[in-house]
Amino acid sequence: MNQVNEHAHHIVGPKVYVAILFALLVGTALTVWASFIDLGPWNPVIALAIATSKAILVVLFFMHVKYSTKLTKLTVISGIFVFLVLISMTLADYMSRAWGNW
Amino acid sequence: MPDNLVHSAKTADTERASHIASAEHPSYLRHHFNSTEQQADTTNFAMWLFLLTEVMFFGGLFTAYLIYRNWYYPAFVAGSHQLSVIWGTTNTAVLILSSFTMAMGVWCAETRRRRGLVLALSLTFILGLCFLGIKTIEYREKIEKHHVPGFHYSLQSFIDPASDPEVFKEYHDKPLALDMARHTELYFSLYFLMTGMHALHMIIGIGILGFMIWRARAGAYTAGHVTFVENFGLYWHFVDIIWIYLFALLYLISRH
């Protein structure tokens, strides 16, 4: 028979979920706290970095990607990669059009 | 023995094995799948493909937001100051908590705990409604201040910030020139478009949750077939991730 699944279905338990919940709430508190400090151009960078860390935790643990098949992992990674290519090329275009004219 | 004979003997064996297996396969295994594992992996793959189309959809909105914020920065900062960080933070916590209860629901389904599953799904349902309730409070404030884009849109808070004491005492914004102030309408267009599309996803999710609670009470997901609960969980967590970014982009990055 075809070897479609690489390993048996992995069940993620409540302990992991509680730990992730805690980490996400800490991340939220951290990002709100950071928004009160004036860091100039670094405010958006920090906010997006924390948001991305939170999103990665959700994807890996709540959405089980850490324990899923190679097919799922590859799908998620390639999808996000294509998304980043699209968004960065679009932004690079728009944000460099008036370069030096402001 | 020639190779092709070995091969056909093996195929016959495999067929016999799968035939025996199919005699006692669970009723939810569709006939075009070899095994329940293959079926679960396939639906999981399909769900992720759907979620990636959603990433591209919301990604377009995020990109539009970033471009316009870059062009009309003062207007987007002033518009952002109209949002309440307290409500935004509360809603983020509510949604993260609902993602946790949803994840616990998936665990209950996998370990066949019917009562636990019904409880987890019901809590997720209630937290989803809490989120929409808070969103309604926020929307109502925008409606009252005429910050909904359209014929009745008001520039008052932006050309004369002191006339909006609650926001003014926190941020002390300088008045915007009329042409820049008009671009706050663009900020609110994107605000309502993005949070509205997110809220629509929440409403659809809450509807499906209602259906799942009803089915879970009858024990539908606690007899080994957990695909529906799992894939709905993926959808719910995805909606949570969208909010995590909306919260950062709309509420947090323009506070100074």
Contact state of A63 with B233 under an 8 Å Cβ cutoff: yes
Whole-model pTM: value is 0.89
Say how far apart CA B186 and CA B237 lie, in whole Å.
29
Higher confidence at residue B185 or residue B6?
B185
Chosen from B32, B43, B48 to mutate, greatest number of chain A CBs within 10 A: B48
**Separation of alpha carbons B62 and B109, rounded Å:** 35
Closest CA to B120 of B143, B138, B101: B101
Q: Please tell me which of the candidates B40, B233, B253 has its beta carbon nearest to residue A9.
A: B40
- The C-alpha torsion from A23 through B242 and B107 to A72, rounded to 10°, is -110
Q: Looking at this protein, which amino acid is placed at residue B40?
A: A
- Are the C-beta atoms of B208 and B201 separated by less than 8 Å? no
The architecture in CATH of the region B38-252 reads Up-down Bundle (1.20)
Q: What is the largest CA-CA distance in chain B?
A: 94
Predicted pLDDT of residue A4: 43
* B72 band by pLDDT with thresholds 50, 70 and 90: very high
* Helices B227-246 and B184-217: angle between axes, nearest 10 degrees: 160
Residue B124 has pLDDT above 70, yes or no: yes
Q: Do B55 and A79 touch (CB under 8 A)?
A: yes
- Please state the domain extents for chain A: 11-63, 67-97
Helices assigned H by DSSP within B24-35: none
Output the average pLDDT for chain B. 92
Region A63-67 average pLDDT: 95
Question: Where does the pLDDT of residue B12 fall: very low under 50, low under 70, confident under 90, or very high at 90 and above?
Answer: low
> What are the structure tokens assigned to B70, written together?
């870059």
- Give the C-alpha separation, B92 to B244, whole Å: 7
pLDDT in tens, B75-102: 999 999 999 999 999 999 999 999 999 9
From B99, B98, B102, select the one nearest B130 (Cα to Cα): B98
pLDDT average, residue stretch B201-205: 98
Best B42, B253, B254 member to test A by mutation, with max A CBs in 10 Å, is B253
Amino acid in position B74 = P
Count Cβ atoms below 10 Å from residue B221 Cβ, excluding itself. Answer: 26
ipTM of the complex in this document: 0.90
Beta-carbon contacts of residue B242 (< 8 Å; ≥ 6 apart): B58, B198, B201
What are the residue ranges spanned by the domains of chain B? Answer: 38-252
Confidence of residue A12 (pLDDT cuts 50, 70, 90): very high
d(CA B127, CA B124): 5
Average pLDDT over residues B166-173: 92
**C-alpha span between B133 and B112 (Å, rounded):** 32
